[in-house]
Amino acid sequence: MRKILVVGAGQAGLQLALSLQGRGYEVTVMSNRTPDEIRAGRVMSTQVMFDQALQHERDAGLDCWESQAPPIEAIGVSVAAPDPATGAAGEFPERAVDWLGSLDAYAQSVDQRVKMAGWMEMFAARGGQLVIHGAAVSDLDFFAGKYDLVLVAAGKGELVSMFARDAARSPYDSPQRALAVSYVHGLAPRSDEPDVEAVRCNLVPGVGELFVMPCLTTSGRCDILFWEGLPGGPLDVFQGVSDPNEHLATTLELMERYTPWEYARATNVELTDEQGTLAGRYAPTVRHPVGHLPGGGAALGVADVVVANDPITGQGSNSASKCAATYLAAIVERGDLPFDEQWMRETFDHYWATARHVTKWTNAMLAPPPEHVLTLLGAGMRHQEVADRIANGFNDPADFEDFFYEPRAAERYLASLERGSVPRA
C-alpha cells in the first residue's frame, strides 16, 4: 500500500486525500487546525463552484451539501456608467450594462468552514490519519523519507517559499485588488430581475468590483458581499478594520455610493456571525511545481500553492477541485513506479493545460477592459446568447479563447450573431 502525505486541509488537499483513501492508499493529512476550530473560525473564501468542479466532488462521493446549498442558476453582470464629466465612476451611478446570463448547470457555494470541517471528520472516520500540526519545511524534510509522495496543498505560510515563482507566467508582482468579504443574512432579491439564485458581478470602472452570491454557511442560507478594490482607491479602506460590524458598515456605505441597485436590497442585512468577515490582498502568482527539501527530497505543490489567481473570476475552489482530480488520475496511473521529479513536473503540466485558461482570463480581468470587451459586455443586453456564453465561461474558461481576448475574434462572433440571431426584446 503506497503512503501519501497531504499537507493542508483545503478544497484540493482534502478532496485528493479522500479520493486516494477511497482507492486504498494510506493517506495522512496534516492540518494546523482541528475541525471544530475551522467550524468556529473566520470565513476563508467565497468559493462559488461551477458544474465541472462540482462533478469532481460528485464522482468522489463528496457532494455532502448539494441538497442544502442554494442552486445558483445564473450570472448577472452590471457595469456602472462613468461620470460624463470625469470619465470615472461617481456617486449614485446608473448602469451602462445590465444583464443576466443563464448557466447550463447550476453552481453552488458552501462555506469552507462547513465543508472542510465535515470532510476532515469524514476522512478520520474512514480511518485516515489526521495530524493537527502546523508543518514547517523541517517537518517535510523529516517525513519525505517515510512517504512515497509528499503533496503540499497549504497555500499560505512558510511552505509556499519552497516553490519558486515562475516569472514567465506571473505578470504581476504585487496585489492587484484589495479584498473585503462579508457573509450576511437578510439580503432581499433584486426587484428589477427574475427571482433566481444568481451571482451578481458589478463592475465599477476605475474603482473595482462588487460580487454578490448566495451561499450555505454554518447558520443556513446566506449571501456574500465581496468587494475587490483597486489598491489605493476608494474601496481600499478595510486594512486595520478589526471590528466585524464596522467592516459591514463600510461595505454597505460603499455599496450605497457605487452600486445603489445592490444597496437597495441590503438595507436590512446583518452578519451571519462574528467571524463572517475577511479582508486581505495577495499577488496572483504561478510557481514552479516541485519544492526541494534540505535533505534532498522533493514535494509536489497543489492548487493555490502553484497557481494562485486573484478571486475576481471566482475560480479558486474550481481550480482546486480540477487540480485534485488531475493529480488523482496521475497518481493512480503511476501504479508502483516512483513519484520522481519528472513525474511531478509532467503531472503539473497536465493541470496547467486547464489552469492556464483560468490564469489568462483572470489576469485579463484585472486590467482595464479593452474596447472590444466592453462591446461584448454591452452585447449581452441585446443578445441572450452572449450573456449565456459569458456566464458559462465561469464553468469552462477555455471557451473565452474563441471570442474574448482578440478584437477580431470578438468582432467575428458578434457579427455572426447580428446575421443569424434574433436580439432579445
Q: What is the mean pLDDT of each run of 10 residues along the chain (425 residues)?
A: 95 98 97 97 97 98 97 97 62 84 98 98 97 91 92 88 96 97 96 86 96 98 98 96 98 96 96 98 97 94 97 97 98 97 98 98 96 96 97 98 97 90 44
- List beta partners, residue 99: 77
Same domain, 233 and 375: no
Number of neighbours of residue 329 by Cβ within 10 angstroms: 13
Same domain, 318 and 353: yes
Which residue among 365, 388, 407 closes a domain? 365
Backbone angles phi, psi at 68, to 5 degrees: -100, -35
Same domain, 148 and 273: no
Please report the beta strands in 238-385, taking only residues with DSSP state E, as ranges in sequence order. 270-271, 277-280, 285-286, 290-292, 298-301, 307-308
Q: Which residues, including other chains, have CB under 8 Å from residue 288's CB and lie 6 or more apart?
A: 163, 164, 165, 166, 301, 306
Is 131 contained in some domain? yes
Is 404 contained in some domain? yes
pTM of this structure: 0.95
Helices (H) and strands (E) in the chain, counts: 12, 17
Same domain, 215 and 274: yes
Residue 261 is part of which domain span? 72-109+178-280
Q: Which three cell numbers stand for residue 423?
A: 436580439
CA–CA dist 106, 110 (Å, integer): 13
Same domain, 289 and 349: yes
Is 102 contained in some domain? yes
Same domain, 13 and 59: yes
Is 194 contained in some domain? yes
Helix (H, G, I), strand (E, B) or coil at 20: helix
Same domain, 128 and 152: yes
Is 425 contained in some domain? no
- What CATH number corresponds to the domain at position 255? 3.30.9.40
Same domain, 289 and 158: yes
Whole-number average pLDDT of the chain: 94
Same domain, 56 and 82: no
Q: What is the pLDDT of residues 279-299, one digit of tens each?
A: 999 999 999 999 999 999 999
| Structure letter (DSSP) for residue 103 | E
Q: Which three cell numbers stand for residue 367?
A: 486590467
Number of domains in the chain: 3
The amino acid occupying position 253 is E
Are 279 and 183 in contact by the 8 Å Cβ rule? The answer is no
Q: Which three cell numbers stand for residue 232?
A: 489605493
Same domain, 346 and 298: yes
- What CATH number corresponds to the domain at position 163? 3.50.50.60
DSSP for 234-280, please give it.
Answer: TT---TT---HHHHHHHHHHHHHHH-HHHHTT-TT-EESSTT-EEEE
Same domain, 199 and 116: no
Are 291 and 166 in contact by the 8 Å Cβ rule? The answer is no
Burial of 299 (0-12, 13-18, 19+ CB in 10 A): buried
Is 125 contained in some domain? yes
Q: Which three cell numbers stand for residue 245?
A: 460590524
Q: What is the pLDDT of residues 215-238, one digit of tens each?
A: 999 999 999 999 999 999 999 999
Number of neighbours of residue 129 by Cβ within 10 angstroms: 14
Residue matched to cell numbers 486573484: 310
241 closest CA partner among 258, 257, 229: 229
Which residue among 220, 254, 280 closes a domain? 280
Is 97 contained in some domain? yes
Q: What is the pLDDT of residues 160-172, one digit of tens each?
A: 999 999 999 999 9
The amino acid occupying position 69 is A
Task: Provide the pLDDT for residue 424.
Answer: 43
Which residue among 280, 296, 320 closes a domain? 280
Same domain, 341 and 359: yes
